[in-house]
């Protein structure tokens, strides 16, 4: 399975921020601690009003769910284990807790961060190396507060602020699944490659107190219908969509945990591994304005629709998680996303402009960008920018090309890309990389053209922007390692440093 490092830079920055807060002497700028996000939520677990997914719709080809099916003793049991398997998919636990080509949930995936390498942990029910000795309360506490059975706080790479939304029934089902249906693996946890004093864990507890002040149980806003509320529950909670799609503050916490808190929620995150996660709100200028419920469902299930094709970090979300969700849940997510009012209320709606298309089709492109596009790109994306169905995505009106941030567009031209292969559409059409064919100036010219041609509103990029993406983002693609991972203090597997004493070097 292809693994992404998508969350790690963020995780590292979060960690760095946490450590700074903990007043560890760091060569980092001093930070003003902003007020925690407003969270007008109560601690009710009144999720009963929200329908749970029908178990019958689990895809038969999810072997992890099939295992849950065979481990059950009674039919109530079976329902609970299957539901747990389904929730684990919705939470995408496998993406982070499985190493490249490793045993499912046995941990060991390296997460690059600016301060060192973090390894995900074994969450199989092995009593020594996994979480087999954890009670339900231990598990629920970790999932809601980030505090482990041993009493220390985990790095916020683990998106527990989102998972704290889970209601008790779902938490029990998830626990039952991990304890009883996931096979135990005796794979030892790896020591994190973070140097003292950064390896001290106590500042993380401070981070948790300040920025994730209390577990926020999900409460649908008054008047929200059950389907939309189900979507909100999945998006804010298990789906942890905000961890990439919500902007972060200087201290790296998400600026809003939900739409009730602020319209910054899902208004577009920064770049992760050189891919920018766009706004998921119902807005122009890079958001999902103009996408129908069905288009959103298609995108989440297959990684493509008539507007765009998924790439970068989002491919893993589709492949490991979203493609397993039921139709009902995907429609609930779509409905919820479409209910989110614009954050940027001034962005004009996209309108197709055929001036450049007419020029190019008459064989008279103007400028280097248009000429390069005709030579190198038009065969697939067409001179009029409309692409070919779901095979080659349209560039005209594509939300990725409507924002000032050209990072994703530059990155995909340099690195190429492949659509995710899913159960619904196993073929993965790809675009070859141009990093070795075009220089920075040429890439800047062609990307500036696609960001502004056909009425697109993205804006020009410079050769310096291209040079920056070439230097930073491409190193992630080369071998799955980020620049910071090239010199990690890798320890032999078997040394578990997860519970260092307060203030102690690991």
Exactly one of 52, 58, 106, 123 binds ligand HEC (CB under 6 A); that residue is 123
Residue 399 binding ligand HEC, by CB under 6 A: yes
Beta carbon of residue 163, minimum distance to ligand HEC (angstroms, whole number): 6
Residue 176 binding ligand HEC, by CB under 6 A: no
Looking only at residues 265 through 304 of this chain, which bind ligand HEC when binding is defined by CB under 6 A? 272, 275, 277-278, 280, 296, 299-300
Q: What contacts 73, CB < 8 A, 6 or more positions away? A: none
Of the two residues 37 and 233, which places its CB atom closer to ligand HEC in the complex? 233
Residue 412 binding ligand HEC, by CB under 6 A: yes
Q: How far is CA 194 from the centre of its chain?
A: 23
Looking only at residues 364 through 383 of this chain, which bind ligand HEC when binding is defined by CB under 6 A? 376-377, 379-381
Of the two residues 42 and 341, which places its CB atom closer to ligand HEC in the complex? 341
How far apart (Å, rounded) are the C-alpha atoms in residues 92 and 97? 9
Taking each helix axis from N to C end, the angle separating 440-452 and 407-415, rounded to the nearest 10 degrees, works out to 130
Exactly one of 99, 361, 374, 429 binds ligand HEC (CB under 6 A); that residue is 429
Residue 450 binding ligand HEC, by CB under 6 A: yes
Of the two residues 34 and 294, which places its CB atom closer to ligand HEC in the complex? 294
- DSSP symbols for 13-51: HHHHHHHHHTT---SS-----PPPPP--------GGGSP
Residue 413 binding ligand HEC, by CB under 6 A: yes
Cα distance between the two ends of the chain: 31
Exactly one of 260, 496, 498, 500 binds ligand HEC (CB under 6 A); that residue is 498
Residue 18 binding ligand HEC, by CB under 6 A: no
Q: How far is CA 350 from the centre of its chain?
A: 26
Exactly one of 6, 103, 415, 497 binds ligand HEC (CB under 6 A); that residue is 6
Residue 246 binding ligand HEC, by CB under 6 A: no
Beta carbon of residue 371, minimum distance to ligand HEC (angstroms, whole number): 11
Exactly one of 117, 167, 187, 243 binds ligand HEC (CB under 6 A); that residue is 243
Residue 338 binding ligand HEC, by CB under 6 A: no
Residue 241 binding ligand HEC, by CB under 6 A: yes
Of the two residues 248 and 381, which places its CB atom closer to ligand HEC in the complex? 381
Residue linked to tokens 């996209």: 350
How far apart (Å, rounded) are the C-alpha atoms in residues 90 and 262? 24
Q: Six-digit token pair at 102?
A: 């490793």
User: Burial letters for 296-307: b for 16+ Cβ neighbours within 10 Å, e otherwise?
Assistant: bbbbbbbbbbbb
Exactly one of 52, 58, 92, 470 binds ligand HEC (CB under 6 A); that residue is 92
Of the two residues 233 and 475, which places its CB atom closer to ligand HEC in the complex? 233
Which ranges in 237-310 belong to alpha helices (H)? Answer: 242-245, 293-302
Beta carbon of residue 271, minimum distance to ligand HEC (angstroms, whole number): 8
Exactly one of 96, 229, 319, 396 binds ligand HEC (CB under 6 A); that residue is 96
- CB atoms closer than 10 angstroms to residue 55: 17
| E-only strand ranges, 391-485 | 417-418, 430-431
Q: What contacts 455, CB < 8 A, 6 or more positions away? A: 350, 351, 352, 353, 396, 397
């Amino acid at each position: 399975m292809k693994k992404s490092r998508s969350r790690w830079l963020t995780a590292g920055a979060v960690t760095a921020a946490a450590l700074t807060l903990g007043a560890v002497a760091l060569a980092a700028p001093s930070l003003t601690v902003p007020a925690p996000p407003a969270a007008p939520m109560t601690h009710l677990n009144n999720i009963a009003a929200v329908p749970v997914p029908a178990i019958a719709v689990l895809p038969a080809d999810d072997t992890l769910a099939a295992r849950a099916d065979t481990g059950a003793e009674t039919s109530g049991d079976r329902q609970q284990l299957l539901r747990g398997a389904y929730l684990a998919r919705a939470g995408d636990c496998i993406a982070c807790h499985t190493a490249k080509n490793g045993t499912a949930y046995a941990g060991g995936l390296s997460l690059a961060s600016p301060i060192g390498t973090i390894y995900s942990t074994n969450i199989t029910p092995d009593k020594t190396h996994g979480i087999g000795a954890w009670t339900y309360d231990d598990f629920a506490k970790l999932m809601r507060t980030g505090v482990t059975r041993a009493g220390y706080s985990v790095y916020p790479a683990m998106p527990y602020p989102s998972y704290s939304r889970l209601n008790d029934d779902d938490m029990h089902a998830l626990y039952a699944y991990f304890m009883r249906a996931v096979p135990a693996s005796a794979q030892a946890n790896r020591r994190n490659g973070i140097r003292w004093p950064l390896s001290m864990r106590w500042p993380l507890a401070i981070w948790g107190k300040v920025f994730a002040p209390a577990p926020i149980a999900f409460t649908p806003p008054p008047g929200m219908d059950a389907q939309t509320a189900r979507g909100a529950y999945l998006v804010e909670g298990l789906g942890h969509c905000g961890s990439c799609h919500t902007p972060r503050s200087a201290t790296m916490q998400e600026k809003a945990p939900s739409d009730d808190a602020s319209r910054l929620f899902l208004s577009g995150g920064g770049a992760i591994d050189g891919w920018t996660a766009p706004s998921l709100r119902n807005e122009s200028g890079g958001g999902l304005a103009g996408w129908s419920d069905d288009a959103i469902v298609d995108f989440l299930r297959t990684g493509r629709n008539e507007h765009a094709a998924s790439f970068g970090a989002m491919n893993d979300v589709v492949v490991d998680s979203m493609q397993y969700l039921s139709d009902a849940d995907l429609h609930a997510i779509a409905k919820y996303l479409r209910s989110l009012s614009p954050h940027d209320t001034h962005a004009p709606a996209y309108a197709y402009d055929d001036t450049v298309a007419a020029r190019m089709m008459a064989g008279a492109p103007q400028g280097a960008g248009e000429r390069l596009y005709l030579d190198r790109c038009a065969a697939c994306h067409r001179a009029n920018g409309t692409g070919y169905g779901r095979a080659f995505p349209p560039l005209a009106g594509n939300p990725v090309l409507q924002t000032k941030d050209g990072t994703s567009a530059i990155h995909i031209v340099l690195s190429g890309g492949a659509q995710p292969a899913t159960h619904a559409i196993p073929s993965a059409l790809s675009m070859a990389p141009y990093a070795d064919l075009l220089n920075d100036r040429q890439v800047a010219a062609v990307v500036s053209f696609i960001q502004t041609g056909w009425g697109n509103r993205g804006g020009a990029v410079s050769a310096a922007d291209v040079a920056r993406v070439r230097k930073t983002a491409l190193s992630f693609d080369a071998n799955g390692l980020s620049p910071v991972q090239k010199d990690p203090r890798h320890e032999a597997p078997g040394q578990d440093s997860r519970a260092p004493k307060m203030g102690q070097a690991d």
